[in-house]
Amino acid sequence: MSQMHFSTVFISVVVLYAGICCNVSAISVEKFLTMTLSQKVTLDKFRAQVMPLLKDSYMKHDTYLIRWLRARNFDINSAEAMLRENLKWRKQNAIDEMRSEDWSDIASDFHVTIDTYDKTGRPSESATNYIENIFRNKKVNVSNFLVGVIDIYDWDIRRAVIQGKGARMLRYLTSRVENITGQVYERQEQLGMNVTQIVVMGSAAGFNIIQHACPGCLPLWIQFALMIENYYPEILDELIVIDAPPTIQIVLEAIKPFITRSNREAIKVLSSNRSKWMAYLDNKISREERRREYGGTKPPFDF
C-alpha cells in the first residue's frame, strides 16, 4: 500500500491531537448552504464541469461540491484543480480501502470512538434539496450531530515517532477522519439529514511538550493538518479544546501562520476552569452523551 503523500505547504489544526471529539455538524447548515444567486449559478456550472470525474454518489451532492468552491472563493478552475488533486490523492493512498484495513497494530495505542450525539440531533429534509428550497422559500429543518472522541492522555506521539510508526499513525488518523466524514455523507444519502461539517471537541488535560509536541512530533501535527486542509476542505466548523494548559499556546502560536482564516476562527481554547467549559459544553452536548473527562455521565468505552 502506498505511503501517504503530503505537499510542502504547512497548514495545521494541531490541537486535533489535544484530545479530540469529532462532531458532525454545520456552520450552521443554513450558513454553509446559503449562497447568492451568482454563487448558485457557479455551483451549477461547477457540477456540470466535474461530474465526469466523480465515481461515488456522495460526491455528486451539492453539499460535497460546494466545499471545493468555498475553499477557492468560488473560482471554478481553482476548485476543479483542488478536487482533481484530492481524487489523485485518494487513489494513490487507497483511501477508499481504509475502512476495511486492519488497524490492530496501532488502534490500541490511539483510542478513537464515534458514538455520541449532540442535543440538537434530529432528522431533517434531504440536504441535497436544501439549496433549491432556499430559493423556493421553503422551511427546512436543520442538522444532526455525531460525535467521536480521542483522548490525549492515552496517546504517546513521541513513542510512535521513536518506534518508526509516525507514518502508520498518520494513516490511522486519516482513516478516522475518513470514517466520520463518511458518516456525514451516509446521513445525507441514507437518512436525509442536513449534515455538512464537523465540530471538534477535545480535552488537553494531559498535554505536555515532551510527549505531544516534541521536535519529532511537530511534523506529524503539520502533515495531518495539511491533509485536513487540502483533502477535506471546509469540513471544520468549530474546534473546542477544554482543560488547555498554557503550554499548548506554544503549539498554537507556532502553527497559527499556516492555518486558514476559517480554521483559526473555529478554534476555541478553554482553560482548566471547569465551570466555564462545563457551561460551554452543556450548551452543545448533553451530559448523558459525554464521558467523565468531559463532565458527563456516559459510561467509559470498552476497548
The residue-averaged pLDDT of 250-266 equals 80
Range of 102-111, 132-141, 186-195, 274-283 with top mean pLDDT: 274-283
The whole-angstrom separation of Cα 155 and Cα 166 is 12
pLDDT at 2 over 60: no
pLDDT at 229 over 70: yes
pLDDT at 299 over 80: yes
> Could you tell me how far CA 129 lies from the centroid of its own chain?
23
The residue-averaged pLDDT of 30-34 equals 71
- Per-residue pLDDT tens over the stretch 157-188: 899 999 999 999 999 989 988 988 888 788 77
pLDDT of residue 303: 58
The whole-angstrom separation of Cα 255 and Cα 78 is 25
pLDDT of residue 118: 55
Q: What's the farthest any 2 CA atoms get from each other in the chain? A: 58
Domain positions in the chain are 14-32+105-294
Paired strand residues for 198: 24, 236
Share of the chain above pLDDT 90, in %: 35
Paired strand residues for 298: 291
Of residues 96 and 21, more confidently modeled: 96
Q: Enter the pTM of the model.
A: 0.78
- Per-residue pLDDT tens over the stretch 69-122: 999 999 999 999 999 999 999 999 999 999 899 999 988 888 766 655 555 442
Residue 292 C-alpha cell reads as 467523565
Q: Report the CATH number of the 14-32+105-294 domain.
A: 3.40.525.10
The residue-averaged pLDDT of 250-267 equals 80
Average pLDDT, the chain: 77
